[in-house]
Amino acid sequence: MVTTDRVVIVGAGLGGLYAALALAPLPVLIISPETLGEGASSAWAQGGIAAAMAQGDTPEAHARDTVLAGAGTVDAGIAALVTAAARDHILDLTDAGTPFDRDGAGNYILNHEAAHSTARVVRVKGDQAGRKIMETLIATVRATPSVQVMERVVAQGLVVDAGRVTGVMLARLEGEGVSKPVTLHAPAVLLAGGGSGGLYALTTNPPRIRGQVMGLAARAGAEMADMEFVQFHPTAMDLGLDPAPLATEALRGEGALLVNSDGDYFMAAVHDLAELAPRDIVARAVFAQTQAGKRPALDTRAAIGAEIYARFPAVTDACRKAGLDPAHAVIPVAAAAHYHMGGVATDARGRSSLPGLWVCGEAASTGLHGANRLASNGVLEALVFARRAAQDIRQDWSAPAADPVPLELPFLSGGVLPAPDAVTALRHLMTDLVGVRRTGAGLQQALAQIAALEQAQPDSPDFQNMCATATLIAACALARCESRGAHWRDDYPDTNPDKAQRSRLTLNDALRLRQAACTEMT
């Protein structure tokens, strides 16, 4: 058991790094499961940041698009707050050295993405925004004396005393194993550890992002929100890789078309906006083609051609590694788990329902995304709430007079990692039963299988956290007897106007639903 005067930030993606800098010179400890800059969803983000930067565009228009895409469950006040702050964050990142794409006159080059009413997505070299923003923040963090980064360390649980979060349980990754957990008491904990995409067998997320941070907050008693709303990206590259490389939405914004193995360009018959329809619609259309055995693909040849090499280097590189030339061949795609709109319920200051615990980024559910995230709003939300959480922590806690010395933790070998076959089984059941299209019977089956997997590995905190998140997703999907946004029920294909509200529950609530489902099945 160790005590620190540092604010502990769990996660070293964009939200965690941005919050640490906003807290400076207050002392901070960042917990990173990888070497800084590796393994974070932020670094993989090909999309840019949505912001009303163009002449004639407004934050109000951006907020309207956000509310419309969210299918009736967006918190309009949060949407207004976030979109109003967007421009300032773009300017701050520019001042910090982020090389956003600019024209000869110095104006930001803006891209048009799905469900936006105008071009408003600021990018870096086409598909390099996440990586370049992370490089900028990492360099600044490395040069900030108040920030200590502890790499190859994971959070496995929260310490709660009299209803308040007072610390975190940490373990060090050791080769193929993990240490026993160490209890670290801290004045404040900020969770910024990503989403849940890796709980699915087909995902665009980094391998370690499997809902652990959401799960540890839920196991501590935090209120969760919108857990059923998992966004599936319609154009993950179907190249046999895990995780699946992403064919950024900007390709469709530039005119790339979806085609199946019969040569049919199928989106025009699905929606008036065709390839630029909201992601949930495009994802279900792509999934339907896959289910029908008509392998869907993205055709960039006519719209972009050889320019794809320079304008979209990440896409080009992934294609070439698979022996495919995107200027002359179509890119096979599939719908893959990409972003979680749900998470730990937070208020406008980033506070969770547990005093002492703040959450930002994909692990949080602020109400911005509703049932279906508007493209390139994810990075924006992380920036806005990382700063707001940091500002609130400043007001909630006073720094010590002297800078604390670098923290060392007494890790001992002997911890328990999840069994690989159990993780594989969990991922496949989530894709098969809690994926793009769901049914009540399938969700009940999923809950029963999650319960069995969880009970077979009681000594692995990481796996318990994964199962907690999986349980919350499946239970909320079972409880929402309608189709809305990214949540689709084959047995309830219509949207019910009476259910146009966010879902909120605790893990105990979800476990009761799970037990009822298991009982009904037997």
Q: What is the largest CA-CA distance in the chain?
A: 69
164 in Cβ contact with 355 (< 8 Å): yes
pLDDT reported for residue 247: 92
pLDDT reported for residue 41: 65
Catalytic residue check, 279: yes
Domain ranges of the chain: 231-338, 420-521
Q: Which fold has domain 231-338?
A: Flavocytochrome C3; Chain A, domain 1 (3.90.700)
In the chain the first and final C-alpha atoms are separated, in Å, by 44
Q: Which is the catalytic residue, given 172, 208, 219, 279?
A: 279
pLDDT reported for residue 42: 62
Among residues 485, 430, 436, 495, the alpha carbon closest in space to that of 289 is found at 436
pLDDT reported for residue 46: 64
pLDDT reported for residue 396: 76
Q: Which two three-digit tokens encode residue 347? A: 């208020």
pLDDT tens-place values along the chain, 522 residues long:
899 999 999 999 999 999 999 999 999 999 999 988 776 666 666 668 999 999 999 999 999 999 999 999 999 999 999 999 999 999 999 999 989 999 999 999 998 887 899 999 998 876 677 788 888 899 999 999 999 999 999 999 999 999 999 999 999 999 889 999 999 999 999 999 999 999 999 999 988 899 999 999 999 999 999 999 999 999 999 998 889 998 988 899 899 999 999 999 999 999 999 998 878 889 999 999 998 999 999 999 999 999 999 999 889 999 999 999 999 999 999 999 999 999 999 999 999 999 999 999 999 999 999 999 998 999 999 999 999 999 999 987 766 656 678 999 999 999 999 999 999 999 999 999 999 999 999 999 999 999 999 999 999 999 999 999 999 999 999 999 999 999 999 999 999 999 999 999 999 999 999 999 999 887
Query: Burial, 408: exposed, middle or buried (Cβ in 10 Å; 0-12, 13-18, 19+)?
Result: exposed
SS (H, E, C) 493-513: CCCCHHHCCCCEECHHHHHHH
420-521 belongs to CATH 1.20.58.100: yes
For CA atoms 69, 74, 75, 78, the dihedral sign is: negative
SS (H, E, C) 216-250: HHHHCCCCEECCCCEEEEEEEECCCCCCCCECCCH
pLDDT reported for residue 314: 87
pLDDT reported for residue 409: 96
Say whether 84 sits in a helix, a strand or coil.
helix
Instruction: Give, as one character, the DSSP assignment of residue 489.
Output: B
pLDDT reported for residue 44: 62
